[in-house]
Amino acid sequence: MTDDVLNGRDFFPEFIFSASRSSGPGGQNVNKVSTKVELRFHVMNSTILSLEEKNLLHEKLANRITREGELVIVSQSERSQLKNKEAVIEKFYRLLKRVLTPRKKRKTTQPPLESIEKRLEEKRIRAEKKEQRKKVN
């Protein structure tokens, strides 16, 4: 991935992969072959991320990081271990990009003249309706 946020950083040396048997349907293939791939990435021990990025990851992904400080991502959708490994790496980079991309600040704008007039007209109609409910002297 060549994104501005990741700047071509290669996290591959810091990945820890493990494979196990998938759950769910799939017949004999599921029972025999270890196709489920689990990627573990220790956030605080990373030499690639800056301290601010590490803190941001811990803050935004608190529910996905274990007590040991590892970010765990799992893929078991494909029938082959290689495809699941590729899928889990893609998930990792998408997650990092989403977390590390700063949100754009909202620019305040004036409401259009048409919407102001519409609001005032509705307000006038509502006021007249309430005025008609009053008792006549």
Q: Is residue 133 part of a domain?
A: no
Q: How far is CA 88 from CA 4, 11, 19, in A?
A: 21, 13, 12
pLDDT at residue number 2: 37
Q: Is residue 4 part of a domain?
A: no
Q: Give how far the C-alpha of residue 12 lies from the chain's centroid of Cα atoms, to the nearest Å.
A: 21
> Can you give the pTM of this predicted structure?
0.68
pLDDT at residue number 12: 77
Q: Is residue 43 part of a domain?
A: yes
Q: Is residue 115 part of a domain?
A: no
Domain count, the chain: 1
Q: Is residue 54 part of a domain?
A: yes
Give backbone dihedrals phi and psi of 78, rounded to 5 degrees, phi first: -95, 165
Domain that residue 64 falls in: 12-100
| Confidence check: pLDDT of 29 > 90 | no
In which order are the strands placed within the sheet that holds 15-20? 15-20, 36-42, 70-75
Angle (deg, nearest 10), helices 81-100 and 51-60: 100
Q: Is residue 79 part of a domain?
A: yes
Residue 65: CB atoms within 10 Å: 18
Task: Supply 101's token pair.
Answer: 């991309």
CATH number, domain with residue 23: 3.30.160.20
Q: Is residue 22 part of a domain?
A: yes
DSSP 11-23: -GGGEEEEEEPPP
Q: Tens of pLDDT along 92-127? A: 999 999 988 888 899 999 999 999 999 999 999 999
| Confidence check: pLDDT of 1 > 50 | no
Q: Is residue 112 part of a domain?
A: no
Task: Supply 99's token pair.
Answer: 């977390």
What is the share, in percent, of the chain residues with pLDDT greater than 90? 31
